[in-house]
Every structure is written in C-alpha cells, then in structure tokens.
Amino acid sequence: MNPITKLQALLPEEVDALLVTSELNQRYLSRLNFTDGYLLLTREKAWLLADFRYIEAARRVESDSLTVLLFEGLSATLGSLLAQEKISRLGFESETVTCAQLRRLEKTFPLVDFLPCPGLIEQMRVIKTPEETDCIIAAQRIAEKALERLFTLMKPDMTEIEVALELEYGMRKFGAEKPSFDTIAVSGSASSLPHGVPRNQKLEKGFLTMDFGALYQGYCSDMTRTVVLGRADEEMKKVYRTVLEAQLAALEFLSAGKTGADCDKVARDRIEHAGYGECFGHSLGHGVGMYIHEEPRLSRTNDKPLPTGAVVTVEPGIYLQGRFGVRIEDMVYLSENGPVNLTKAGKELTELF
C-alpha cells in the first residue's frame, strides 16, 4: 500500500478530505520535493497542486493514485476542487499550519469547516519501509565517508567552522542533498555545550564533539563522534569510557516493544552510577526519518512500546559545564528480528595531533 492509499484509509470520519500543506509531508506522500503547493486527499482521490515552477517535475510523479494540477490560486484551483467534490469539512495539519495560514483559508472558503487533524502523517512516518530504511542507511554511509575524509585533512590550526564546513562539503561531495541539520563541531571548553555552535576560532585542545548528518533522497542520518585533540587525562578517559559503556548497555537492551523510558534508564543508570547523573540533561535518543527529530522518543517521559520499523538514535552524553563534554551517537533500526545498528564508524577513544 502506497502512503497516499494508506493515509486515505486513516482519514477521520468527521472530515471529507485532508489538505496537506507541510512540505515534508507533501514530499513523503508524493516523492516530489517542492514548495508553494498543496496536496488534497479524499477517501478515493488525491491531487497535487503545483505552480508553474514545479509542474513539469510534478507530472513525473503523477500516478493512478495521484492527479497533478497546475495551481493557479486558492480560489481558482483549490476552490474548484472543493466545489467539484462537494467538500464542506476539510481537515488540516494543525501541528504545522500557522494561525495566519488558517485565517487565510477560512477567509477564502467561508462555507468550509476546517477541522484539525494532528499527527496523521507523522505517525505513518514512524514506521519505515525497506526503501526508506535504505535511504537512511545511504545517508549514514555518506556521513561516515565525510568523517573519514575529514580525518585526512585535520590540522591543529583549523577552526571549528572549518571542521563543520569540511564535514558538510564531504557529505555533498559523496552524494548528500545537503546536511540533515546544522552541523555541530565544538572543541575544548565549548564541547560542554550539547548543541554548541561552531566558532570562528582555532580548535581548542581537549575533546572535539562533532554531531552531523546527511540528507539523501529526503531522508536524514544522524551521528555524533567525540575525539581528543592532544592527549586525554584520566578524568577525560573516565568520562569517555562512562559514555561509551552507557551507550553500549543501551544498545544491548534496546529493541522493539521496550519503552523509550526503559531504554533511557539503562544508559542513565550507568552515568549516574559513575557520579555524572546531573551532567546528562537530555534524553537518550529520538526517531529519525525525513525530519531529524521524529517519533518515537527514547526519553524518561515515553512509556509507550517502541514500534517495529522505527529508526532511533542512541546518544548518551556527559557535559561538565565550562570544561568539556562527550557524546556518542549511533542510529538503530528496530527490525522484527531485533535491533540493527546502522552506524559503522568506530567509537574507540581517539587522540589526534
């Protein structure tokens, strides 16, 4: 069953149709990467409305389940469809539609009731098809090749921004559409910032944390590796070892059917036992797909079983404020036969320079 047909079967009884405005969800349903258009679905039909800039590309994805129309304005194109199909109760993506967008739609179509339909497509996206998983794996391999390339270029006088740029250039060089999120490359005292921004200054001695990913055919990868610039002292070795042991314990425990909270607890218990419980302030992980942070969550608040078919990150960390930090992150596919680690990059303590 293709995603359009699957979504049509999930439409709530109280709506006649669903209007998809999220560019990410439009791409998921149609496989077309475009902006400034709409996708409209009833229980039997679906239309992609694309303007002149995208109409030629849009017609390449037209199929028995998806009709492509040239978008010539809300009233002219969408209004005609609503009247033609006698749609008076229109569902919308309430988690992504802004107040301004909703007011515009309500003003243009005063006889239509707009009903919120939160999370319909996002929940579909949690379970990855084999083709989607292959795209995520390909994105991860691209990121790993970029990291390998970076290590051949690393010099002590590089800046954090240069490290981030080399990772991003490598990912583009090896086939990524773009980075899947803003690359993190922070060194020395800045490595204590979980989401630190690369600085235009020379790399500091100590830990260098790099959190990055590639986007390939619409799907993200996500990984973090922390290396040492110079030599690690005993405390740095202890912190790194603790994070790695916490991650390995969580990876061994992780599987579909376990709750996100239980998985988080396995890693958190290891870190707390080592005396760094207050230094692990974020959750263990999150889902990855077309968006870098998706459901399900590996967090203390998620008591729902993890579903078969999801891809999640496992990324414990320890951050000593103003001193240094360590995070190690892999992606895992929760298959029906058990978890499969999609990340191949090594994670032994590595000292450079």
At residue 60, the pLDDT reads 96
Q: Taking residues 20-38, what's their average pLDDT?
A: 95
Pair 281, 204 in one domain: yes
Read off φ and ψ for residue 13, nearest 5 degrees: -60, -30
At residue 95, the pLDDT reads 94
pLDDT, tens only, 151-200: 999 999 999 999 999 999 999 999 999 999 999 999 999 999 999 999 99
3-state SS of the chain?
A: CCHHHHHHHHCCCCCCEEEECCHHHHHHHHCCCCCCCEEEECCCCEEEEECCCCHHHHHCCCECCEEEEECCCHHHHHHHHHHHCCCCEEEECCCCCCHHHHHHHHHHCCCCEEEECCCHHHHHHHCCCHHHHHHHHHHHHHHHHHHHHHHHHCCCCCEHHHHHHHHHHHHHHCCCCEECCCCEEEEHHHHHCCCCCCCCCECCCEEEEEEECEEECCEECCEEEEEEECCCCHHHHHHHHHHHHHHHHHHHHCCCCCEHHHHHHHHHHHHHHCCCHHHCCCCCEEECCCCCCEEEEECCCCCCECCCCCEEEECCEEEECCCEEEECEEEEEEECCEEEECCCCCCCCCEEC
At residue 104, the pLDDT reads 96
Closest CA to 289 of 211, 183, 216: 216
Residue 327 banded pLDDT, cuts 50, 70, 90? very high
User: Considering 126, 144, 173, which residue would you say is the last residue of a domain?
Assistant: 126
Residue 116 banded pLDDT, cuts 50, 70, 90? very high
Pair 31, 167 in one domain: no
Q: Taking residues 331-337, what's their average pLDDT?
A: 97
Q: Is the pLDDT of residue 36 over 90?
A: no
Pair 184, 199 in one domain: yes
At residue 247, the pLDDT reads 98
Which residue is it, tokens 């988080």? 264
Are 37 and 77 a contacting pair, CB within 8 Å? no
Q: Taking residues 242-263, what's their average pLDDT?
A: 98
Pair 207, 73 in one domain: no
Q: Is the pLDDT of residue 134 over 80?
A: yes
Pair 101, 230 in one domain: no
Domain extent at residue 79: 3-126
Considering the entire predicted model, what is its pTM?
0.96
Q: What proportion of the chain, given as a percentage, has pLDDT over 70?
A: 100
Pair 190, 303 in one domain: yes
CATH number at residue 58: 3.40.350.10
What total number of domains does the chain contain?
Answer: 2
Residue 1 banded pLDDT, cuts 50, 70, 90? confident
CATH number at residue 197: 3.90.230.10
User: Considering 95, 126, 157, which residue would you say is the last residue of a domain?
Assistant: 126
User: Considering 126, 147, 181, which residue would you say is the last residue of a domain?
Assistant: 126
pLDDT, tens only, 52-93: 999 999 999 999 999 999 999 999 999 999 999 999 999 999
